[in-house]
Structures are given as C-alpha cells and as structure tokens.
C-alpha cells in the first residue's frame, strides 16, 4: 500500500520589504522614491527557533544614496524597523565631509546628522581627523553632549591595535575599545570595558572574535561576563546566491548544564540587496 503524500509547504520570502499601513504610506513612498537609485538592503529574522516555532520576529530595510550639496558631498541614509516603528521610517541620517584634508598634515572634519522617529531624538556627531588619529563628539537632543572620544593606532611589534577611549558624560564613566586584525586580516579580535569613576568599578566588559572559516563564511563569538552571555553566530553568503544567512545562538552560562541548554536561544536571519 502506498503511503499518503503530505503537501509540501513552501515559505516565500519577500523580494522587497512591504510598506507599512496607509497612515504614513505617502511619506514612505516619497522616501523610497528619493533613494530608489541608491544601495538598498533588507533583512528578515525569526524568533527563537527552540520555543517560538521559528515564527517571524522582525523586518528591517535600509536605503542609501549619495548627494552633492554644493561643494559638500554627502550620503543620505534611511532605515525601517518593523518592531521599532512599523508605521514609518525608524531613522534618517545625513553624513559627509565639512572640511576636506588636502594632505596628511591637514585636519579634516566630518559630520553625521541623524533623526530617530521612534524615539523622536536627533543626534549630531562631529569627527576631526588628522592622519590616523580622530577626535569625535556626540550630541543629542535628550542628553546634550553625550560622548567625547578619540581613536588612534598603536604599533606593537608586527601587530596594529586600534584604540578608542571615550568619556560618557551623563554616566560619568570612561569607555575603552581595543581592536586588532589577526591572521593577515582574516580574523578580528576586539575588547571593550567601561570604568565608573564615582563607583571606581569596571563593567560592561565584552570580548569578541570574528574568524573567517573560508570564503563567504564567518564565525563570530562574543562573551559578556556581566551578563554571563555567550553569543555564537555563523554568517554564510554562499548558501544562497545574492543573500546572506546568519544563524545565531545565545547561551547563558549560568546554572547547571541542563539549564544552560534549555535556556539557549537560536535565531535565523536572511539579508539581501534589493532594487
């Protein structure tokens, strides 16, 4: 006796992100028309595959277009985040160079102006560059001057380390980021921590490693001791032509072995360029 056949269910991913409901549809259409000739990307992600049956979790899209405002060349970017602001764009930013350095001995000044429609906050970032060194200041309409930092490169033997110390004004804490490329640039190691001046405590520690397994496949690992959270992700751009798939596992390193496995979270994301 021939066993009955079960119909095969196919999940079709959208070729381009859907527009939100009619309330702000005209504004979205105007924005996407303006950026239609730019670089467009979208990503769709699932919830926890171990508990949510892989249901839809979020949809994000981004648009980018180069502009010339007089002698100033700028880049206009817009992004949509279904969870953050499903009825309109999440944020729009404009960035470019205010002062162009004519030589390595001259100072260049870049700017970035960003408007977040979900929080109704406007951010301004100014960056002054001289050679490999940079000085930046971040201002927003809620906290005013939020962060001031510098970045530079330090040569340690054959290794180059990028150092980015900064001062978080409202939190009254110092933040230090260290980054270095390994294995002829195929791997990247980074570390970050905050130092609270008032409490004289170190926190916000995070260590991460990106390792290129082969062409188109990258393994990412990060660990946050404060949260006892280990994140592992595999990014694969060879599985499907024109798209990148990312599988991520978040493992809480607390409790017994059985509890760790039960509380592990696994998600899947597909990102692609679209026109």
Please tell me the distance from the alpha carbon of residue 87 to that of residue 90, in angstroms, as a whole number: 9
Model confidence pLDDT, tens digit, residues 182-217: 888 889 999 999 999 998 899 999 999 999 999 999
Give backbone dihedrals phi and psi of 164, rounded to 5 degrees, phi first.
-130, 85
pTM of the complete model: 0.75
User: Is residue 52 scored above 70 in pLDDT?
Assistant: no
What's the CA gap between 124 and 145, in Å, rounded?
9
What number of CA atoms fall less than 13 Å from residue 42's CA on the CB side? Answer: 14
Q: Give Cα 264 to chain centroid, integer Å.
A: 22
CB within 8 Å of 180: residues ≥ 6 apart: 159, 160, 161, 162, 188, 189, 190
Task: Give the model confidence (pLDDT) of 119-137 as tens digits.
Answer: 889 999 999 998 889 999 9
Q: What angle do CA 76, 77, 78 make, to 5 degrees?
A: 130
Reduced DSSP (H G I as helix, E B as strand, rest coil) percent helix, strand, coil of the chain, to 5: 10, 60, 30
The one-character DSSP state at 107 is: -
Confidence tier at 243 by pLDDT (50, 70, 90): very high
């Amino acid at each position: 006796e021939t066993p009955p056949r079960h119909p095969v269910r196919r999940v079709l991913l959208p070729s381009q992100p859907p527009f939100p409901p009619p309330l702000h549809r005209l504004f979205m259409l105007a924005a996407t028309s303006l950026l239609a000739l730019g670089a467009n990307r979208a990503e769709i992600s699932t919830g926890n595959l171990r508990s949510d049956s892989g249901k839809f979790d979020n949809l994000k899209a981004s648009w980018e277009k180069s502009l010339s405002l007089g002698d100033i060349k700028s880049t206009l970017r817009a992004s949509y985040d279904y969870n953050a602001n499903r009825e309109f764009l999440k944020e729009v930013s404009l960035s470019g160079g205010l002062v162009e350095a004519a030589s390595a001995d001259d100072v260049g000044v870049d700017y970035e102006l960003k408007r977040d429609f979900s929080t109704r906050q406007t951010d301004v970032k100014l960056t002054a560059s001289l050679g490999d060194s940079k000085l930046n200041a971040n201002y927003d309409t809620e906290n005013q001057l939020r962060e001031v930092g510098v970045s530079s490169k330090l040569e340690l033997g054959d290794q180059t380390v990028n150092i980015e110390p900064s001062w978080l004004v409202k939190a009254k804490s110092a933040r230090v980021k260290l980054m270095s490329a390994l294995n002829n640039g195929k791997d990247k190691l980074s570390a970050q921590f905050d130092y609270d001046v008032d409490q004289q405590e170190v926190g916000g520690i995070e260590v991460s490693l990106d390792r290129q397994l082969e062409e188109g496949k990258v393994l990412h690992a990060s660990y946050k001791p404060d949260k006892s959270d280990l994140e592992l992700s595999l990014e694969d751009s060879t599985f499907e032509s024109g798209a990148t798939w990312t599988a991520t596992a978040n493992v809480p390193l607390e409790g017994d072995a059985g509890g760790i496995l039960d509380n592990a979270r696994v998600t899947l994301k597909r990102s692609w360029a679209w026109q």
